Amino acid sequence: MILTFCNKPSLFSFHRYNYHTMDIFLLALGFVFILLGIIGSFLPVLPGPITGWIGLLILHFTSVIEQDWTFLGITLAIAVIIWFLDYIIPAMGTKKYGGSKYGIYGTTLGLIFGLLFLGPLGIIIGPFAGAFLGELIYDSKDSNRALKAAIGSFVGFLFSTGIKFIVSLIYAGLYIATFWDYKADFF
């Protein structure tokens, strides 16, 4: 469908393919945010579920998908709750096992340094070593307490990361399922 003025295309021309091109761009951009949400489940720099939710939001901005504000509101509420719990769960694990804030900070720093120097294996080794070193800095005389607190911090970190990963995978599944229902309209 082409609308033109004065029988020749101009700045006021409207081409149907503009919608199609923008929809494909939004589809790809939304998928990038979904992938970043999954990656963000493991990295403390990116809020995984919230980033994945932005991917769902972008998908609903296409002209193909109907905007379902109830769906988007519920998934946003879940993402915000998980983001909030992400700060509480490791602290609860550390406190339950007798740790301090140094153990929590050590867990986060250990994850970052572990990823930088050990790659994917650093996701497991880094937080534990960081929590242990953080607790030793807090109280260098009691290594048993530091080990116990490091285990608590590590368990809390794994639980929190697991929840973020599961929610991000669910968001990826919702994204793919929604796209699959409307794929004929995209292509």
Whether the pLDDT of residue 157 is over 60: the answer is: yes
User: What pLDDT is recorded for position 56?
Assistant: 96
- Is 9 contained in some domain? no
Q: How many other β-carbons are positioned within 10 Å of the β-carbon of residue 25? A: 12
Total number of domains constituting the chain: 1
- Is 12 contained in some domain? no
Handedness of CA 125, 128, 130, 136 (dihedral sign): negative
User: What pLDDT is recorded for position 144?
Assistant: 87
Q: Residues in the chain, how many? A: 187
- Is 1 contained in some domain? no
- Is 24 contained in some domain? yes
Average pLDDT estimate for 153-163: 86
> What residues have CB less than 8 Å from 152, skipping those under 6 apart?
93, 94, 95, 96, 97, 98, 99, 103
The average confidence (pLDDT) of the chain is 84
Share above pLDDT 70 across residues of the chain, in percent, rounded to a whole number: 90
Whether the pLDDT of residue 151 is over 50: the answer is: yes
Q: How many other β-carbons are positioned within 10 Å of the β-carbon of residue 60? A: 18
User: What pLDDT is recorded for position 111?
Assistant: 81
Structural domain containing residue 35: 19-186
- Is 28 contained in some domain? yes
User: What pLDDT is recorded for position 14?
Assistant: 44
Whether the pLDDT of residue 33 is over 80: the answer is: yes
Query: Is there a contact between 72 and 93 (Cβ–Cβ < 8 Å)?
Result: no
The torsion region of residue 7 among left (phi > 0), alpha (psi -120 to 50) and beta comes to: left
Q: Which of the four pLDDT bands, split at 50, 70 and 90, describes residue 173?
A: very high
- Is 27 contained in some domain? yes
**Interior angle at CA 98, CA 94 and CA 103, nearest 5:** 45
Report d(CA 94, CA 102) in Å as an integer. 10
User: What pLDDT is recorded for position 7?
Assistant: 46
- Is 61 contained in some domain? yes
User: What amino acid is encoded at 185 in this protein?
Assistant: D
User: What pLDDT is recorded for position 11?
Assistant: 42
Query: Is there a contact between 97 and 127 (Cβ–Cβ < 8 Å)?
Result: no
Q: Any alpha helices (H) in the chain, and if so which ranges?
A: 17-40, 48-60, 69-96, 101-118, 122-138, 143-186
Q: How many CA atoms lie within 13 A of 150 on its CB side?
A: 25
- Is 10 contained in some domain? no
Comparing C-alpha atoms, which of 88, 84, 82, 104 is closest to residue 163? 82
Q: Which of the four pLDDT bands, split at 50, 70 and 90, describes residue 1?
A: very low
| pLDDT single digits (tens) 50-109 | 999 999 999 999 989 988 999 999 999 999 999 988 878 877 777 788 778 888 888 888
Largest CA distance in the chain: 87
Average pLDDT estimate for 104-133: 84
